[in-house]
């Protein structure tokens, strides 16, 4: 984003959009040309375990989902890492060329020396309800230590870590406290919250833990205000109805699994009048059945349930696309979290 365009985003109109000034105040500032001084560069972001880019898209903003525009945020992702090659292809296609492919432990020497924000959803297969229960001692979920190491090296003002609801379950209580303690040992004020994606306009009953750490000399992080309640959740029908009569189209990922029905391979059918079930990352038969059609939902439909915009194209075949969608942080949920992060970073010292 150029300096000029960034300044335009932070006019009284943008402050009004963020609810920070009233309409009358905005009009007055414009009329007398008393524009506030603004930071002339976006906040820099390092992204770990980026996958196909769901969280990164949410932090960037500037996309449309189900007819609603999600404005651009003042963030520039300057460095990202992902080990899966197919996910990196999708990331480059939709987010940017800055993603580094490879094992994070081999990439630490390549990290920027400083960034304002570190984000990432460290792998959770050993913690999830459907996992093996190994917790943070497991090979995959133990990668949270790479995020701790990155925070120690980059020293961001704030970090955001996403994980599964299982991290809050009693068998993982010690693991949660260990994760929190390791981040606190770096000098951060650390908090966590359980988010239900449907509360923020995602047509999916997905629950995830978000851990946030802030340096002591900046504003405390406040979770974003919920935008939907159970009576106003976006339903599967609302999210998918316009795709019902569309034939398969690989160019937009509107393709689906032919796996036969089997309790061992996912046999749930979407309910038209409620949000979709959690999209899982396992391949083959775990994608759910359409609420009305005699087939599993397509990858485009799964992407809709995850709140990806329709112009986000996955550069992979069906099974790998399933994995990318299921592993992602819903961009709309990430957008709301990013909005709250931006408010934290807009301190009086930097912005006035």
Per-position b or e across 29-45, b if 16+ CB within 10 A of its CB: beeeeeeeebbeebbbb
Which tokens in the block code for residue 218? 């900046």
Give CA–CA dist 340/346, Å, rounded. 10
Check: CB of residue 193 under 8 Å from CB of residue 223.
Answer: yes
Check: CB of residue 48 under 8 Å from CB of residue 122.
Answer: yes
Low-confidence ranges of the chain (pLDDT < 70): 1-40, 124-141, 263-266, 283-285, 347-352
Which tokens in the block code for residue 267? 């046999």
What pLDDT is attached to residue 2? 43
Prediction pTM value: 0.85
What pLDDT is attached to residue 169? 87
Which of the residues are catalytic?
124
What pLDDT is attached to residue 266? 64
What pLDDT is attached to residue 172? 80
Give CA–CA dist 239/100, Å, rounded. 33
Give CA–CA dist 314/220, Å, rounded. 36
Write the pLDDT tens digit of every residue in 119-172. 999 886 544 444 454 445 544 447 889 999 999 999 999 999 999 898 898 888
Q: Which pairs count as long-range contacts for 122-128, CB under 8 Å and 24+ apart, including other chains?
A: 122/48, 122/49, 122/146, 122/147, 122/161, 122/162, 122/163, 123/49, 124/163, 124/164, 124/166, 124/167, 127/163, 127/164, 127/166, 127/167, 127/172, 127/175, 128/164, 128/166
Which residues are registered as beta bridge partners of 46?
79, 118
DSSP 3-state of 185: coil
Domains of the chain: 1-36 (no CATH), 37-228+328-351 (3.40.50.150)
DSSP 3-state of 52: coil
């Amino acid at each position: 984003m150029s300096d000029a365009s960034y300044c335009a985003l932070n006019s009284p109109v943008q402050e009004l959009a963020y609810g920070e000034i009233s309409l009358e105040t905005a009009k007055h500032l414009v009329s007398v040309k008393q524009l506030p001084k603004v930071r002339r560069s976006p906040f820099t972001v390092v992204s770990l375990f980026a996958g196909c880019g769901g969280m990164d898209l949410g932090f960037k903003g500037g996309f449309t989902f189900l007819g609603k525009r999600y404005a651009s945020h003042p963030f520039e992702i300057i460095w990202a890492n992902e080990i899966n090659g197919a996910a990196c292809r999708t990331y480059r296609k939709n987010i940017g060329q800055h993603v580094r492919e490879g094992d994070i432990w081999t990439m630490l020497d390549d990290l920027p020396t400083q960034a304002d924000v570190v984000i990432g959803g460290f792998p959770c297969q050993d913690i999830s309800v459907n996992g093996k229960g190994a917790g943070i001692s497991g090979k995959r979920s133990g990668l949270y230590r790479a995020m701790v190491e990155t925070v120690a090296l980059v020293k961001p003002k704030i970090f955001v870590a996403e994980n599964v609801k299982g991290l809050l379950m009693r068998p993982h209580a010690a693991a949660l406290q260990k994760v929190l303690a390791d981040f606190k040992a770096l000098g951060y004020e650390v908090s966590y919250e359980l988010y239900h994606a449907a509360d923020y306009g995602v047509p999916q009953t997905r629950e995830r833990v978000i851990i946030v750490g802030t340096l002591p000399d900046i504003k405390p992080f406040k979770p974003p205000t919920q935008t939907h309640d159970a009576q106003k959740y976006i339903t599967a029908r609302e999210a998918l109805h316009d795709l019902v009569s569309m034939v398969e189209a690989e160019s937009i990922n509107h393709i689906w699994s032919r796996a036969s029905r089997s309790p061992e391979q996912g046999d749930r059918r979407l309910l038209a009048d409620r949000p979709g079930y959690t999209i899982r990352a396992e391949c083959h038969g775990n994608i759910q059945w359409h609420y009305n059609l005699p087939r599993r939902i397509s990858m485009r439909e799964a992407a809709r349930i995850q709140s990806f915009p329709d112009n986000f194209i996955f550069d992979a075949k069906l099974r790998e696309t399933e994995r990318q969608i299921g592993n992602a942080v819903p961009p709309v949920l990430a957008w709301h979290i990013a909005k709250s992060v931006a408010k934290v970073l807009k301190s009086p010292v930097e912005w006035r």
